[in-house]
Amino acid sequence: MKDDVQRLSLDEFMEQPLPGNIHELLGHFNGGSFMECHQKVFEATGIWVDELVPVFQRFDAMVVTRDVRPEAVR
């Protein structure tokens, strides 16, 4: 775990300038979960946004329970 953790509210996070390497960082994500993305951003930047945890958990649950059948067989 990083020693220089920045605990931010969602508003504080939104006010932060984007890191210069954000596009490089985002290029490393190829699918996966929202919480996994949150964890990877934390590992790379030390930024953790507590308010995003329940949001991302809900998104992950929505992804897991979505109907993936082709439209023709629904």
Task: Find the length of the chain.
Answer: 74
Phi, psi angles (nearest 5°) of residue 23: -70, -35
pLDDT by residue for the chain (74 residues), tens digit each? 567 888 888 888 778 887 777 666 655 554 458 888 899 999 999 999 998 888 888 777 777 776 778 888 88
pTM for this entry? 0.55
pLDDT of residue 2: 61
Domain spans, the chain: 6-66
pLDDT of residue 17: 81
